[in-house]
Amino acid sequence: MRIPAHHPLPTRDVGHEMSTDDEEDRFIGRPCYLFNPSLRPGLNDTRCAHCRLYLTAQCPHIDEFLDDVEDLSPE
């Protein structure tokens, strides 16, 4: 079986704007990035969502991620 090497295109939810490049860039290529080896090697794109530390207590930027989630919570 062959696994495609390309990344899926970003999806767009109705009623939501797509992320700007600045917003997107802040979650890519951080110096603390460590690829999560339980994922397929093709996902090693330095995105925080593919980092071994993502949303763990060891992540040095966990507060930033939690702030991002809190911004999306209904009041």
CB atoms within 10 A of CB 51: 20
* Assigned domain for 1 exists: no
* Assigned domain for 32 exists: yes
Check residue 67 and give its pLDDT: 77
* Assigned domain for 49 exists: yes
* Assigned domain for 34 exists: yes
Type of residue found at 74: P
* Assigned domain for 18 exists: no
pLDDT digits (tens, 9 = 90+) for 23-57: 778 899 999 999 999 999 999 999 999 999 999 99
Cα→Cα distances 40→3, 7, 43, 46, Å: 9, 12, 6, 13
Q: Is the pTM of this model over 0.75?
A: no
Domain of 34 in residue numbering reads as 25-72
Give the chain's domain count: 1
Cα–Cα distance, 39 to 36 (Å, whole number):
6
For the chain, how big is the Rg over CA atoms in Å? Answer: 14
